[in-house]
């Protein structure tokens, strides 16, 4: 190997080591609780509603975030749904912003579809979000106006029945779920990859309309600085309720 090649190789390895050394990963422990509802009003129309409470600091030490979402859903069929809705996100004070909570307004649009088989159920959605987050001044007070960026999310969930009752009341299912989120927009420089959420857990079929999900989720997120990451271990408990008013009529 020539001397110049050796110098280039050493320079590359030194740069790679430096970049790796500058990467910081913060580990967190949270607990997420949520109630989610999809109600079908007619053959074509229904609505979506969900609300979330997220706790932090060794799972339940303090409040982290509150979210509420609502909006109409259009049914292309039993297995394909279009939703356009609004979300309000309230992020509670965190280290570095000790005296303020951060509000966010988040319109979003989504296509959701299901693939049903004899041995499993596959649910997917693609969601586009427009995020308006309040500006912060001096790291400790809210400023006028909002920072804006887009985010696209892809969610896939696989339900595998574990008992003979399958998806009937009293049935138990194993759930694998992964959601990838990508940022884009003028304000996004270093973290086009936002986060990935991987979940594994159990689903209990409470009745024909409701399911209880519980399990472990790992959230890995790249923060706006680009070289800072968050590795979050999360206990997740969600209650899903689906109601069809056509039957009651």
What the block records as the tokens of 214 is 């519980």
Q: Residue 92: which of 82, 100, 81 has the closest Cα? A: 100
How far apart, in whole angstroms, are the C-alpha atoms of residue 223 and residue 58?
21
Range of the structural domain that residue 244 is part of: 29-248
> Is the pLDDT confidence value at 211 over 90?
yes
* Residue 122 confidence (pLDDT): 98
Residue 40 inside a domain? The answer is yes
**CB neighbour burial string for 152-165, b if at least 16 within 10 angstroms, e if fewer:** ebebebbbebeeee
The mean pLDDT of 39-59, rounded to a whole number, is 96
How far apart, in whole angstroms, are the C-alpha atoms of residue 165 and residue 168?
5
Torsion of CA 56, 35, 161, 30, to 10 degrees: 0
- How many residues in the chain? 249
The mean pLDDT of 94-117, rounded to a whole number, is 87
What the block records as the tokens of 88 is 């309000």
Counted domains in the chain:
1
Residue 144 inside a domain? The answer is yes
Q: Are 43 and 246 in contact (CB under 8 A)?
A: yes
Residue 222 inside a domain? The answer is yes
* Residue 9 confidence (pLDDT): 44
What the block records as the tokens of 245 is 């008013």
Q: Name, in order, each residue with C-beta under 8 angstroms of 91's C-beta and a sequence gap of 6 or more.
A: 64, 65, 101, 102, 103, 104
Residue 13 inside a domain? The answer is no
The mean pLDDT of 6-23, rounded to a whole number, is 48
Torsion of CA 157, 50, 197, 103, to 10 degrees: 160
How far apart, in whole angstroms, are the C-alpha atoms of residue 127 and residue 110?
4
Residue 47 inside a domain? The answer is yes
Residue 171 inside a domain? The answer is yes
The tens digit of pLDDT for each residue in 114-143 reads 999 989 999 999 999 999 999 988 777 889
The mean pLDDT of 135-161, rounded to a whole number, is 93
Handedness of CA 81, 86, 88, 89 (dihedral sign): positive
> Is the pLDDT confidence value at 14 over 60?
no
Residue 125 inside a domain? The answer is yes
Q: Are 63 and 83 in contact (CB under 8 A)?
A: no
What percent of the chain clears pLDDT 90, i.e. is strictly above it? Answer: 80
* Residue 18 confidence (pLDDT): 42
Number of Cβ within a 10 Å radius of residue 228? 16
Kindly report the CATH number assigned to the domain that includes residue 177: 2.40.160.40
How far apart, in whole angstroms, are the C-alpha atoms of residue 227 and residue 140?
23
Q: Are 73 and 49 in contact (CB under 8 A)?
A: no
The shares of helix, strand and coil residues in the chain, as percent rounded to the nearest 5, are 10, 65, 25
pLDDT band per the 50, 70, 90 thresholds, residue 4: low
Residue 6 inside a domain? The answer is no
How far apart, in whole angstroms, are the C-alpha atoms of residue 161 and residue 119?
7
């Amino acid at each position: 190997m020539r001397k110049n090649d050796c110098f280039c190789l050493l320079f590359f390895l030194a740069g790679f080591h430096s970049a790796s050394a500058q990467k910081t990963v913060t580990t967190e422990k949270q607990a997420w609780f949520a109630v989610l509802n999809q109600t079908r009003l007619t053959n074509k129309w229904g609505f979506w509603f969900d609300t979330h409470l997220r706790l932090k600091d060794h799972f339940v030490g303090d409040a982290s975030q509150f979210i509420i979402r609502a909006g109409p859903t259009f049914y292309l069929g039993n297995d394909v749904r279009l939703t356009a809705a609004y979300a309000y996100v309230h992020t509670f004070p965190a280290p570095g912003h000790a005296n303020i909570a951060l509000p966010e307004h988040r319109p979003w649009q989504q296509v959701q579809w299901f693939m049903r088989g004899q041995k499993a159920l596959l649910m997917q959605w693609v969601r586009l979000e427009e995020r308006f987050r309040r500006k912060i001044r001096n790291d400790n007070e809210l400023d006028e106006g909002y920072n804006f960026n887009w985010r696209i999310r892809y969610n896939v969930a696989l339900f595998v029945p574990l008992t003979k009752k399958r998806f009937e009341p009293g049935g138990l299912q194993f759930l694998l779920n992964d959601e990838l989120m990508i940022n884009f927009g003028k304000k996004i420089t270093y973290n086009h990859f936002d986060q990935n959420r991987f979940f594994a857990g159990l689903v209990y079929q409470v009745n024909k309309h409701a399911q209880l999900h519980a399990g472990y989720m790992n959230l890995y997120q790249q923060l706006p600085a680009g070289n800072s990451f968050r590795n979050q271990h999360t206990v997740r408990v969600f209650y899903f309720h689906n109601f069809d008013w056509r039957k009651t009529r």
